[in-house]
A and B are shown apart, each in its own frame.
Chain A
Amino acid sequence: MSAQAQNQELARYGLPRWRVSDVLWVGAIGIIGGLLYRFVFPAVSAACGAGETQPWSSLTNGVWMLAGFLALGITRRPGSMILAESLAALLSLLLSGQTHAEIELAGKTRMVLHPLVFTGLLQGMGGETIFCLLRYADWRFGVWLISAAGCAWFSYISGIYVTKCYVLFPATVQAGIFLGTFLSTAVLCALPAWWLGRQLFEKSRP
């Protein structure tokens, strides 16, 4: 869609409308992302030493945001990052077969639904915030960087409060984890999503 047609749509409806092809794109990216999250990325991040040498291994954290960013970059539709990221997280959880997790509360252990879907939802929400506030009308690279920062922030925070795996590290390492997650999200996710969106939307097609 050319920039002019996009402006007309925005002026008429206020927001970009969902089309059938957008739904298919988001669904396909969510499903492929779920398969990658389950079968490919764990091996990749293990090979890079994830969980052993924080904060350096957090430089691979960006791969977990890939589905949401690509979906939003390709479709540019409201909610597509949240949908794709939640779908990918849900699928990878179902494929793993471990649907429940233990939490500890004041020394007592309880079983709850596995928080992975929730962290996926949170990462999508963190990344899409700035686009929502700008009414899905601003797609410059700076906005993608803010989006990557939001995503990294929500990912770090859910590592503190939801999965609690970052609580064990001292504050400087935690700051490094946030910075590493932001850098990898910016390079691995925001940059390709920005470039893809530019190719698809800001060049008028013949």
Chain B
Amino acid sequence: METSAKSSDRLSSLWFGWTARDWAVVLTCGVVFGLIYRLWDDLYTVMLVKWGWNLAPTSLINWMWFMGGFIPAAITRKPGACLFGESLAALVEVTVGPYTIDVGDFGPEIYRTVYIAGQGYPVFNMVLYVGILEGLAPEYVLGWFGYRRWDWTAWVLAGAAGGLIEFCTGIWMTHYYVFESTWTFWGLLLTSLIGVGVIGGSVTWAVGRIVWRGKEERI
């Protein structure tokens, strides 16, 4: 009964049991990975535009854009770490400096233009909202495991959820994904899942294993 009393204390708190250390980890990772995201934007652009790669193989590097949420979640193992870290990283990404390479559509701005009936309207850069969604989808997978499973399978599933939502936002929100062929469509879906799920999930799982060495991964 003692454990259930303790857990219900923690459950009913809107602070989700976060300690000062958790806040430090999430804030630090959010800012640092926001800067790394910016560099990664350039890498992606170089691969896609300068080297002329297809969308599908290029998406194998998508895993890095999830680390701002995954790494704090793996280190703190607290509810909300993934969502908050990823949102913060996305905010840093859209706020900080311009792209170093000018490629038109992948703009650096805090504001973006959307077109309705030929007329352009400014909106806040949707990458921030994409970041919130990319933090939220893996958060759900971790939450549906009750924040009790931190093994490889759980991380791969969390990454796959992230890859799926990233695929959807690329079609419907940022409109980055223009499909020239059916092969590109299915290939992009596959490499999104592999890139974020298998690669990103494995990296995160390894980081969590190092930090929580000797601890059970299924609590």
Hey, which bits of chain A sit against chain B, CB under 8 A? 7, 10-11, 13-15, 78-79, 82, 103-107, 110, 112-113, 115, 118, 121-122, 125, 128-129, 132-135, 137-138, 157, 160-162, 164, 167-168
B172, A135: Cβ atoms closer than 8 Å = no
Binds A, one of B33-41, B45-53, B144-152: B144-152
**Chain A: interface secondary structure?**
mixed
A129, B116: Cβ atoms closer than 8 Å = no
Measured as residues with beta carbon below 8 angstroms from the partner, the interface class of chain B is 35 or more
B168, A118: Cβ atoms closer than 8 Å = yes
User: Taking A11-B4, A125-B140, A161-B129 as contacts, is the C-beta distance between A133 and B116 under 8 angstroms?
Assistant: no
A94 to B31, CA, bound (A): 43
A167 to B112, CA, bound (A): 12
A125, B172: Cβ atoms closer than 8 Å = no
Contacts of A161 in B (CB 8 A): 114, 123, 126, 129, 173
User: Taking A15-B146, A167-B114, A167-B123 as contacts, is the C-beta distance between A137 and B16 under 8 angstroms?
Assistant: no
Q: Does B92 contact A (CB under 8 A)?
A: no
Q: Does B83 contact A (CB under 8 A)?
A: yes
A14, B146: Cβ atoms closer than 8 Å = yes
Out of A7, A14, A129, A168, name the residue touching B136 (CB < 8 Å): A129
Out of B14, B115, B116, B146, name the residue touching A135 (CB < 8 Å): B146
B12, A138: Cβ atoms closer than 8 Å = yes
Contacts of B136 in A (CB 8 A): 125, 129
Out of A110, A121, A129, A167, name the residue touching B178 (CB < 8 Å): A110
A162, B173: Cβ atoms closer than 8 Å = yes
A-B contact list, 12 entries, CB within 8 Å: A104-B114, A104-B115, A106-B105, A121-B168, A122-B133, A129-B83, A132-B143, A133-B143, A138-B12, A161-B123, A167-B121, A167-B123
Q: Does B181 contact A (CB under 8 A)?
A: no
Q: Does B188 contact A (CB under 8 A)?
A: no
User: Taking A104-B116, A161-B126, A168-B116 as contacts, is the C-beta distance between A112 and B172 under 8 angstroms?
Assistant: yes
The 10 closest A-B pairs by CB, nearest first: A14-B146, A132-B143, A104-B115, A137-B11, A15-B146, A133-B79, A167-B121, A115-B172, A161-B126, A78-B144
Out of B11, B16, B137, name the residue touching A125 (CB < 8 Å): B137
Contacts of A125 in B (CB 8 A): 133, 136-137, 140
Contacts of B173 in A (CB 8 A): 161-162
Q: How far apart are A3's CB and chain B's nearest CB, in angstroms? A: 11
Q: Does B171 contact A (CB under 8 A)?
A: yes
Contacts of A168 in B (CB 8 A): 116, 121
Q: How far apart are B181's CB and chain A's nearest CB, in angstroms? A: 14
Q: How far apart are B212's CB and chain A's nearest CB, in angstroms? A: 18
